[in-house]
Amino acid sequence: MSGIHEWLQGLPVNKKIRNDKGFIVRFLQIVLIVAILTLLLKPFQAILGLVNISMMFLLPVLYSAVALGRRAAIVSAVLGVLFFDFFFVPPPLSLTVDDLRYLLSFLIFIIVGVLTGTLASSLQHQVVRSRQREANMTALYALSREISAVAGLDNLLAAAAIKVAESIECQVIIMMPDEKTGFAVKASFPEVKQAFIDNKEWAVVTWVYQQRKLAGKGTDTLGDAERIYLPLLTEQGIVGVLGVQPAIEEIHLSAEQRRLLEAFASLIAVAINRVQLAEKARANQLLMESERLYTVLFDCVSHDLKTPLSSILGAVTTLLSENEAIQPDDKLELLQAIKRGTQHMNRLVNNLLDMARLESGSFRLSKEWCDVQDLISVAVRQIEPSRDKKVILHTMANLPLVKADFILIEQVIINLLDNAFKYSRDNNVEISVHSDQQEIRIAVIDNGLGLPEEDLERIFDKFYRIKSTRQVSGTGLGLTICKSIVEAHGGRIWAKNNPHKGMTITFTLPVLAGLSGEIPLVKDGEENGE
């Protein structure tokens, strides 16, 4: 609490004492000005004449009206009359006058001083109000800009409390409902702990929250409170309470400051509502993603896992039946069916696990120098096309090695081949490999029906499935995983339709030869078929 006291002590102690001292200084200043003017005019009395000298005494009146205010202008007019009468009007050095017509001049002189001072004071007051309104608008704009750029409710409330306290020179507390204690201090400036707010103040806070009306110090409702409390209202309801305590206990907030506070409260309430709605939207988005993932997993279990499991179970059951009529070729075919089903399940589970790693942020690369042809050969053996399917490989000579995660890039090629075989029409898939000084391009080409242009970008979205009349299994995760792995290596991946038929998916890997101080081996390649 010592920081609060130091902050409060730095502000003015008593406005009345300050105003009284200021008036005395201004009075002495006016006396000095009129006296100096008198001394300057006295030697030229015979030259200027009484009429011109009387006009000269209007100058202190005008100066006082503009610079010092209405009361100073009136005092200046009275002093001007007295000095003019005493030093210039016959008989000199006396307040009496030989000609009573001077009394009318004196009266008009004082009336001019009063009117001039009043008009100048009114103009000055309008200028002050205009500047105050400008300052208020600047403060509102600053608060709006400050809280619009802040993410998170706690940061938002802290920024709002600091901005309001700086704008009005007061202590600010923002309270919101709490499930355990009813209300809790969410932000304050200078810092105020919840334990330092007594039960009487909490009662006022509760009343403001329930009635949704302003109350507290300086108002007609619960005016004996230490602070003034404003509800933070939105179209959806009340979200909290803003408490403000003037720096000096004897000073109440002005009407202008109260209007500014109400504007602050509206801005803060809208900002809080925006953050809360954003958090709800994120929660709903997570819920929708969870439901979507549940649907996809259910589809996998019901179809993509059930189908190979049924095939494996049927083949194993046949092999275990001890039927001597099973021919060796048929037995081999059953074993091949078991292997294909197992590999299909393995790819599916790997895709789900890779997606989980990507979502959790535990995705890490283990880079090593790799031969692209070896990568493709291993991937082709893993995909194991049947006898009537073929992978045709086209490579250029002198392919450089690339520094990449062998297992992950192998997974990319396997996913692309698996996707191509699903949609290819004549059971042939081509792989084309080209290189320049900056990157290696690996393209997987099928001869299916292709895709509409608007779907070419979406095929890399999570869970996206191509609408097709053919029954094609899959989770919609394979190409998403490919995109994440390739981009993690600093490469690119895209899809385009072929001029005549089918689609080509191409990805790149950067060539890092010479950058790490290692000299990778270079192997020749040639067109071949798998």
- Burial of 367 per CB tally in 10 Å (0-12, 13-18, 19+): middle
Which candidate, 205, 206, 200, 207, places its Cα nearest to that of 224? Answer: 200
Encoding tokens for residue 210? Answer: 């329930």
CA 465 to CA 472: how far, in whole Å? 9
How many other CB atoms are there within 10 angstroms of residue 127's CB atom?
10
Specify whether 370 is located in the same domain as 355: no
Q: Residue 400's domain is classified under what CATH number?
A: 3.30.565.10
| Mean pLDDT per 10-residue segment, the chain (530 residues) | 38 44 78 87 83 83 79 84 83 77 81 80 80 76 76 84 82 84 82 75 90 87 87 88 77 76 87 86 80 65 66 78 70 78 73 64 77 88 67 85 87 86 80 89 87 77 62 65 86 89 90 46 36
Strand partners, 439: 510
Q: Is the dihedral of CA 377, 381, 384, 390 positive or negative?
A: positive
Specify whether 322 is located in the same domain as 387: no
How many other CB atoms are there within 10 angstroms of residue 503's CB atom?
23
The predicted structure's pLDDT at residue 185: 87
Final residue belonging to a domain, choices 257, 276, 295: 276
Is residue 283, in this structure, part of any structural domain at all? no
Which candidate, 348, 350, 315, 353, places its Cα nearest to that of 334? Answer: 315
Is residue 289, in this structure, part of any structural domain at all? no
CA 185 to CA 110: how far, in whole Å? 59
Specify whether 355 is located in the same domain as 369: no
The predicted structure's pLDDT at residue 354: 65
Specify whether 391 is located in the same domain as 246: no
Is residue 262, in this structure, part of any structural domain at all? yes
Specify whether 351 is located in the same domain as 442: no
How many other CB atoms are there within 10 angstroms of residue 361's CB atom?
7
How many other CB atoms are there within 10 angstroms of residue 374's CB atom?
13
Peptide bond into 12 cis (omega under 30): no
Reduced 3-state DSSP string for 403-443? EECHHHHHHHHHHHHHHHHHHCCCCEEEEEEEECCCEEEEE
The predicted structure's pLDDT at residue 443: 93
Reduced 3-state DSSP string for 191-244? CCCHHHCCHHHHHHHHHHHHHCCCEECCCCCCCCCCCEEEEEEECCEEEEEEEE
Specify whether 256 is located in the same domain as 312: no
pLDDT digits (tens, 9 = 90+) for 208-254: 999 999 998 888 888 888 888 999 998 888 999 999 887 666 566 77
Specify whether 129 is located in the same domain as 34: yes
Is residue 352, in this structure, part of any structural domain at all? yes
Specify whether 49 is located in the same domain as 131: yes
Specify whether 344 is located in the same domain as 382: no
Segments forming the whole domain that contains residue 351:
306-359
Is residue 301, in this structure, part of any structural domain at all? no
Q: Assess contact for 261 and 219: CB atoms under 8 A.
A: no
Is residue 282, in this structure, part of any structural domain at all? no
Q: What are the Cα distances from residue 474, in Å, to 111, 311, 418, 459?
A: 97, 17, 10, 13
Final residue belonging to a domain, choices 337, 359, 381: 359
Q: How many helices (H) and strands (E) does the chain have?
A: 14, 15
Q: Where are the alpha helices (DSSP H) in 222-305?
A: 255-299
Is residue 197, in this structure, part of any structural domain at all? yes
Question: How many domains would you assign to the chain?
Answer: 4
Mean confidence (pLDDT) of the chain: 77
- Burial of 529 per CB tally in 10 Å (0-12, 13-18, 19+): exposed
Which candidate, 24, 412, 150, 335, places its Cα nearest to that of 161? Answer: 150
Specify whether 77 is located in the same domain as 18: yes
Is residue 145, in this structure, part of any structural domain at all? no
Specify whether 512 is located in the same domain as 372: yes
How many degrees, rounded to 5, is the angle at CA 428 between CA 425 and CA 432? 125
Final residue belonging to a domain, choices 291, 326, 359: 359
Encoding tokens for residue 104? Answer: 């009318």
CA 229 to CA 201: how far, in whole Å? 9
pLDDT digits (tens, 9 = 90+) for 385-444: 555 678 888 888 888 888 998 888 888 898 888 888 877 777 788 899 998 878 999 999
Specify whether 409 is located in the same domain as 463: yes
CA 160 to CA 268: how far, in whole Å? 7
